[in-house]
Amino acid sequence: MLIRRIELREIHLALLHPFETSFGRTTERHIILIRVEDADEAEGWGECVADEKPHYNEEWTESAWPVLERFLAPMAIGVDLASAAAIHSIFEHIRGNRMAKAAIETAVWDLDARRQGQPLWKLLGGTKTEIACGVSIGLQPSIDALLTKIEREIASGYQRIKIKIKPGHDIDLVRAVRNRFPDIQLMADANSAYTLDINIKLGRVGGHVEVRRIEALCRERGIPVWCGGMLEAGIGRAHNIALSTLAGFVLPGDVSASERYWDEDIIDPPVTVTPRGTIVPLAKPGIGFEVKRGRLDSLTVRKKIIDAAS
């Protein structure tokens, strides 16, 4: 598998509703997308999950772009890869920058799965033909507003509710939710405003190779894990679906429907959730979804092609 061309593209995608955490309020995502192409003109897609500002960690959109353009993409061009997993070692001597690395790494996994004519989730070693879904709810203007939103998500079938909290807005929120909904699976997430929480986020750990290592380690020790979300658009969401089929992902994750975030996603079909609060991975090759090129073109604010001649 010889990578001959990598396309970097930044899109701006407005959220349907503002999403507030202890870091601040997000109304629009600035997302870097990666398209890799091999010598046979097959393609694969990945998504960089870095935020618009360096609040979640040190990576952000404006730091990820030059790392991808000047270092990671040129390193991948012209390399003959035995498998998708091999790209991980190509990037080993670049310190940190896991979200940028994961953007290319996941695109190569998608490419490899498409070349082999099998779904990405099967290539990763996934075993689940249906994954349980939860939702992450940002900070709301009032407790009543939070309870109303939770009630709506439960009615939609979601199996786990995660609420955002922060110092000064925590115990009262959790107590009100638990009193109103005593039987739901409930998580509270402060986005490291107190201490680091334990879940697996594809971009945060550096890609599918690291996800599989962590999942195997936890599964062997009986530690349940779930898939965390980073307000991904459809490509990143599709990769999250694939990794969530691994056997160790036993808790409902943050993988939810496209319609909760976007008036129109960048993939076809959009991600949907069944009435029982699950997602059924698609049987098509690669991530299983088609990228909507016209939609991408209308959202693109910058684009760069990197190949052997660059």
Residues near 87 by beta carbon (within 8 Å), at least 6 away in sequence = 76, 79, 81, 104, 105, 108
304 is catalytic: no
164 is catalytic: yes
69-102 pLDDT, tens digit each:
999 999 999 989 999 999 999 998 999 999 999 9
Mean pLDDT of 272-284: 94
Q: Which one has a higher pLDDT value, 115 or 174? A: 115
Say which of 122, 201, 303, 304 is annotated catalytic: 201
- Cα angle for residues 158, 212, 64 (degrees, 5° grid): 85
**pTM, entire model:** 0.88
* CA atoms of 121 and 239, how far apart (whole Å): 8
Provide the pLDDT for residue 194. Answer: 60
Say which of 164, 166, 292, 303 is annotated catalytic: 164
33-70 pLDDT, tens digit each:
999 999 999 999 999 999 999 988 899 999 999 999 99
Whether pLDDT at 200 is above 80: yes
